[in-house]
């Protein structure tokens, strides 16, 4: 007799779709089989039953030079749960130059722990790659952070080629995974200088300040450097056809490389930014939204398995008071889009329902693949005995238009306003506790915990 049984659902894994019940004891899945008995029962008749979503790329309560993202750990993780995501992976960014990495980790952990309603992991950001910093990499991995974020651009974050190579070598030796934001700094600086000289700093000019070739150049370069160092490499927020195909070629050559894309690059394009008024600022993110041809190429890459995960890069700024900081120059618009709540529903609607990807690919992209890559599997990412009972009941045919009012994200707009969803989350469980039932929050807040990730072993 189990504590809880989820009955009569259609289970979806990254390899199969089948009918079974899920028996839950305490916080864990105990058995998956037909006709299980439990003290409590939840009917999943007519529902898809999935492992809780794992969003590998979010920014909650993130300070920037001019403001802080509007989404707190408390609001952002509840929004995640409403959308079927039960684990998020955010970032540690050292708070001052050469802050000891573990000290930065402990500071971030205490903020996250106080507010998180879902489980979470953390990636470590390396803003420098000197000997003293790289000597700390092993200790960071031992603390449960086996993934390191590196940037090829942004003042205060950018590493040059020599530093990237040194970081890749240290990450490889520590059994960890490198994640790179790949845009060519030299191309971005030159493009911005030319626009500035021409007095072209209105929103319409923003996409040209970060051209697609900047992504291609940086993706190809970091792939080569990582290959030389033997370091496994994950490219975040791939936005272009050429970026995706560079990763595909490296993988065909046998390189340990993976790519992530985000809902905004699959569903929106640069025309959203080129509005006659300032509302296009709602769509400013880096890398920028691209062309319809890039969107199609990214869908093809998901279908072919050339990109492996869907993260949101959820980085929310209010239009009023925050995006508005850039009224006079796009250079001052805080860059980032919200999306933490709609990830599963958007990929289901525009991927599964249109036949671009299968149900199993959907689950793999949103849950299983990120759990495996970031050392959360088998605790997260799959419905199997022994795993945490993070379970989502998903309504497979519910047609609703997206409105800002229906969402729980703490930001004053959604970039997906008006799109029609074909399905949505019905119930979300975290470690056996129901957090969301039929669109209502029924869980305790702040029940999430830090999940130490194990060191890198894909497969």
Given the rule CB under 5 A, which residues bind Zn ion?
313
Tokens representing 72 are: 């707190």
Structure tokens at 66: 């001019």
Q: In sequence order, what are the beta bridge partners of 43?
A: 7
Lookup: tokens for 83:
């959308």
If the CB atoms of residues 48 and 267 are measured against Zn ion, the closer one turns out to be: 267
User: CA 348, CA 398: separation in Å to the nearest integer?
Assistant: 11
Question: CB of 57: closest distance to Zn ion in angstroms?
Answer: 6
Q: Which is nearer to Zn ion, 21 or 313 (CB)?
A: 313
Short-list 34, 14, 12, 13, CA closest to 22: 34
Question: Can you state the percent helix, strand and coil of the chain, rounding each to 5?
Answer: 35, 25, 40
What are the Cα distances from residue 4, in Å, to 13, 32, 237, 402, 426? 20, 12, 38, 32, 17
Nearest approach in angstroms of CB 316 to Zn ion is: 12
φ, ψ for residue 47 (rounded to 5)?
Answer: -105, 155
Structure tokens that stand for 156 in this block: 């205060």
Minimum Å gap between C-beta 94 and Zn ion is: 16
CB of 122 to Zn ion, least distance (A): 13
Looking at the Cβ atoms of 123 and 251, the one nearer to Zn ion is: 123
Residue 154: CB atoms within 10 Å = 13
3-state secondary structure of 3: strand
- Is the Cβ of residue 333 or residue 429 nearer to Zn ion in the bound state? 333
CB 325, min distance to Zn ion, A: 19
Residues 6+ apart with CB under 8 A from 193: none
Residues 6+ positions from 125 with CB-CB distance below 8 Å: 91, 92, 93, 94, 148, 149, 150, 151, 157
What is the smallest separation between the CB atom of 31 and Zn ion, expressed in angstroms?
38
Give the closest residue to 409 by CA, choosing from 345, 358, 312, 341: 341
Q: Are 225 and 168 in contact (CB under 8 A)?
A: yes
Q: Which is nearer to Zn ion, 313 or 382 (CB)?
A: 313
Give whichever of 163 and 313 is closer to Zn ion, judged by the CB atom. Answer: 313
Instruction: Tell the smallest beta-carbon distance from residue 418 to Zn ion (Å).
Output: 25
The least CB distance from residue 64 to Zn ion, in Å, is 12
| Residue among 119 and 313 whose Cβ is closer to Zn ion | 313
Nearer to Zn ion, 282 or 314 (CB): 314
Q: How far is the CB of 212 from Zn ion (least distance, A)?
A: 18
Structure tokens at 265: 């690059």
Q: Which is nearer to Zn ion, 235 or 297 (CB)?
A: 235
CA angle 58, 81, 48 (to 5 degrees): 115
Q: Is the peptide bond before 369 cis (omega within 30 degrees of 0)?
A: no
Give the torsion sign (CA, 196, 200, 206, 210): negative
Q: Which residue is nearest to Zn ion (CB)?
A: 313
Nearest approach in angstroms of CB 59 to Zn ion is: 6
Cβ proximity to Zn ion: between 220 and 313 the closer is 313
């Amino acid at each position: 007799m189990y504590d809880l049984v989820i009955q009569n659902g259609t289970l979806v894994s990254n390899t199969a779709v089948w009918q079974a019940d899920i028996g839950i004891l305490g916080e864990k899945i105990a058995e998956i089989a037909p006709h299980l008995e439990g003290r409590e029962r939840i009917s999943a008749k007519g529902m898809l039953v999935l492992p809780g979503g794992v969003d590998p790329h979010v920014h909650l309560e993130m300070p920037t030079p001019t403001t802080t993202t509007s989404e707190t750990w408390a609001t952002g993780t509840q929004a995640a749960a409403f959308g079927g995501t039960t684990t998020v992976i955010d970032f540690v960014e050292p708070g001052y130059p050469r802050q000891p990495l573990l000290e930065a980790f402990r500071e971030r952990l205490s903020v996250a722990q106080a507010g998180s309603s879902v489980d979470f992991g953390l990636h470590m950001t390396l803003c420098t790659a000197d000997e003293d910093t790289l000597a700390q990499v092993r200790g960071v991995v031992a603390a449960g952070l086996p993934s390191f974020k590196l940037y090829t651009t942004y003042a205060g974050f950018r590493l040059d080629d020599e530093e990237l190579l040194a970081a890749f070598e240290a990450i490889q030796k520590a059994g960890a995974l490198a994640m790179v934001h790949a845009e060519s700094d030299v191309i971005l600086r030159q493009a911005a200088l030319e626009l500035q000289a021409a007095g072209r700093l209105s929103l319409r000019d923003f996409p040209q300040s970060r051209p697609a070739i900047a992504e291609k150049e940086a993706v190809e370069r970091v792939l080569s450097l990582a290959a030389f160092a033997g370091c496994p490499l994950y490219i975040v927020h791939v936005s272009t056809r050429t970026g995706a195909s560079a990763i595909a070629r490296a993988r065909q050559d046998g390189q340990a490389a993976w790519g992530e894309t985000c809902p905004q690059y699959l569903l929106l394009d640069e025309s959203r930014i080129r509005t006659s008024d300032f509302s296009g600022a709602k769509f400013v993110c880096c890398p920028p939204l691209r062309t319809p041809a890039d969107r199609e190429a990214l869908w093809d890459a998901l279908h072919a398995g050339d990109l492996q995960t869907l993260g949101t890069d959820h980085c929310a700024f209010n239009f009023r008071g925050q995006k508005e900081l850039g009224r006079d120059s796009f250079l001052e618009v805080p860059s980032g889009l919200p999306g933490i709540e709609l990830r599963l529903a958007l990929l289901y609607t525009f991927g599964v329902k249109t036949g671009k990807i299968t149900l199993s690919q959907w689950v793999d992209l949103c849950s299983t693949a990120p759990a495996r890559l970031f050392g959360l599997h088998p605790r997260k990412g799959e419905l199997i005995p022994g795993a945490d009972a993070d379970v989502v009941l998903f309504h497979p045919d519910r047609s609703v238009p997206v409105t800002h009012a229906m969402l729980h994200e703490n930001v004053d707009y959604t970039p997906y306003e008006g799109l029609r969803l074909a399905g949505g989350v019905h119930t979300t469980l975290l470690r056996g506790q129901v957090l969301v039932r039929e669109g209502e929050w029924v869980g305790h807040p702040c029940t999430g915990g830090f999940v130490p990730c194990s060191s890198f072993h894909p497969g």
